[in-house]
């Protein structure tokens, strides 16, 4: 499953445009379907049942970090820089992630029980936690495709899984099912994603294997420790409203916030998609030309801000229309939530592009340090806002945390693109377990060595400019849920 080498600049640009067109259809179609589907689900479930479902989703989302512990970012960068090591790395990461997911499953269910949530919340949590097993398998396969920049294939898998998931959830509430049945239908998305991804890899003659082992897994986790710290901090920040707000406001009111924030979460797929595309590009270019990688990173930040700003303006203009569809009788709170939280989207675009560029350039430790200070500050601000203003404070927290994140990650980004060599931090190795780390990302901390792996010629700025409109959801369930 190697990337073709010797592509001309024209072929690279054409491939980027085709990838952008394919990936753009996925979120466009799913988001067109999602609004009426979500409105119907909320209408049939009611605020109370919808709020219970969202509480369970928040619990599972918070423990989902244990399913990866930084393995994904390191794995994607490794595949982008050393494609020939992909089979062994895939087997090691898949085995380790399955083991971690089983641990996370138990923790999620135990937390819901010990927190004395209702039986409905506990059942929804158990079902969603079970789905994480399929998510881990499927996302490991799509991470491999992402590292090789096979974005159209990733889009096809996510589109198919998302459509099936949406259709089954609508059928479930139409038949009179409650939150538990809806949670059960959401298992279909990860199952389809896992099955399709593995089938595609087998058809492309990629060796699909699983390597288990405590020692092997511990070595992987140690090599990914910088990514792990970053992920823990980010997930803790992301899930703070979902975990704190239900303790401060009634479940029904939390349901209003969750529904209003749904539109903003869908729009957040855009910053995530930009980073998804930019990350392997910068990682690969950093092996070939520091100047080309720096230009690609700066272009990515500029295009991300412009694209996400336009999307935020459209979201603000549509806030009243969306709120009246979701809550025809009481749209005021939903309108307020959307109109405040939507301005987090352009800031998230800049923050995501800067962060992914730093990781692609090997500045893992710099990102970890910046993220630590940024998230500590933003959590303090967010806790204060939510305690004083409730769901409105949570909306302002979504905006403030992106601005705070930019303020801490911008200095190392400027340092990276202004003349310093792209390199892997001395504490991080990009080699898989059992592979000598003497090539890219060696512990010397010096400039990244030129890779001897045949790679495609350096794509031009038009490649990324065409691809930045593409979309891909990666973290919550790795299937775009609607």
CA 31 from centre of chain = 17
Burial class of 119 by CB neighbour count within 10 A (0 to 12, 13 to 18, 19+) = exposed
**Confidence at residue 222, expressed as pLDDT on a 0 to 100 scale:** 77
CA 68 from centre of chain = 12
What's the CA dihedral at 410, 362, 428, 95 to 10 degrees? 110
Looking at the whole model, is its pTM more than 0.75? Answer: no
**Confidence at residue 362, expressed as pLDDT on a 0 to 100 scale:** 76
- pLDDT tens digits, 377-404: 887 887 788 778 777 787 888 888 889 8
* Residue 330 near residue 286, CB atoms below 8 Å: no
* Residue 112 near residue 59, CB atoms below 8 Å: yes
Rounded to whole angstroms, what are the CA distances from 317 to 36, 143, 313, 339? 18, 35, 6, 8
Give every residue of the chain whose pLDDT is below 70, as ranges. 1-29, 31-32, 35, 226, 230-231, 233-253, 255-256, 259-260, 419-482
**Confidence at residue 130, expressed as pLDDT on a 0 to 100 scale:** 92
């Amino acid at each position: 499953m190697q990337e073709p080498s010797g592509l001309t600049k024209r072929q690279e640009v054409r491939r980027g445009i085709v990838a952008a067109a394919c990936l753009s259809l996925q979120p466009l179609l799913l988001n067109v379907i999602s609004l009426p589907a979500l409105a119907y689900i909320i209408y049939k479930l009611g605020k109370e049942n919808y709020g219970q479902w969202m509480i369970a989703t928040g619990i599972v989302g918070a423990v989902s970090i244990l399913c990866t512990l930084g393995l994904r970012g390191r794995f994607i960068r490794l595949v982008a820089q050393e494609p020939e090591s992909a089979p062994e790395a895939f087997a090691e990461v898949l085995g380790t992630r399955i083991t971690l997911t089983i641990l996370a499953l138990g923790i999620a269910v135990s937390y819901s029980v010990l927190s004395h949530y209702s039986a409905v919340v506990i059942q929804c949590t158990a079902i969603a936690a079970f789905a994480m097993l399929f998510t881990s398998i499927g996302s490991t396969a799509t991470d491999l495709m992402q590292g090789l920049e096979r974005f159209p294939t990733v889009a096809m898998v996510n589109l198919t899984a998302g459509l099936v998931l949406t259709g089954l959830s609508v059928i479930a509430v139409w038949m009179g099912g409650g939150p538990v049945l809806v949670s059960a239908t959401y298992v279909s998305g990860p199952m389809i994603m896992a099955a399709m991804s593995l089938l595609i890899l087998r058809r492309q003659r990629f060796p699909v294997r699983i390597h288990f082992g405590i020692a092997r897994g511990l070595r992987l986790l140690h090599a990914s420790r910088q990514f792990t710290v970053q992920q823990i901090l980010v997930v803790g920040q992301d899930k703070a409203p979902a975990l704190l707000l239900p303790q401060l406001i009634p479940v029904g009111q939390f349901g209003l916030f969750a529904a209003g924030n749904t539109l903003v979460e869908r729009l957040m797929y855009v910053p995530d998609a930009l980073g998804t595309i930019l990350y392997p590009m910068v990682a690969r270019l950093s092996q070939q030309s520091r100047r080309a990688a720096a230009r690609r990173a700066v272009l990515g930040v500029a295009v991300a801000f412009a694209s996400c700003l336009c999307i935020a303006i459209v979201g603000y203009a549509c806030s009243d229309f969306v709120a009246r569809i979701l809550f025809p009788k009481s749209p005021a709170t939903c309108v307020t939530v959307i109109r405040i939280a939507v301005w987090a989207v352009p800031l998230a675009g800049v923050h995501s592009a800067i962060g992914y560029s730093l990781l692609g350039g090997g500045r893992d430790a710099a990102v970890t340090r910046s993220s630590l200070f940024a998230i500590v500050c933003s959590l303090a601000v967010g806790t204060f806002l939510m305690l004083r203003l409730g769901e409105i404070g949570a909306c302002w927290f979504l905006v403030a945390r992106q601005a705070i994140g930019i303020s801490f990650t911008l200095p190392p980004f400027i340092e990276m693109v202004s003349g310093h060599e792209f390199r892997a931090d001395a504490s991080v190795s990009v080699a898989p377990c059992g592979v000598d780390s003497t090539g890219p990302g060696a512990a010397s901390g010096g400039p990244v060595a030129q890779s001897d792996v045949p790679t495609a010629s350096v794509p031009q700025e038009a490649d990324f400019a065409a691809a930045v409109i593409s979309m891909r959801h990666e973290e919550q369930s790795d299937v775009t849920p609607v």
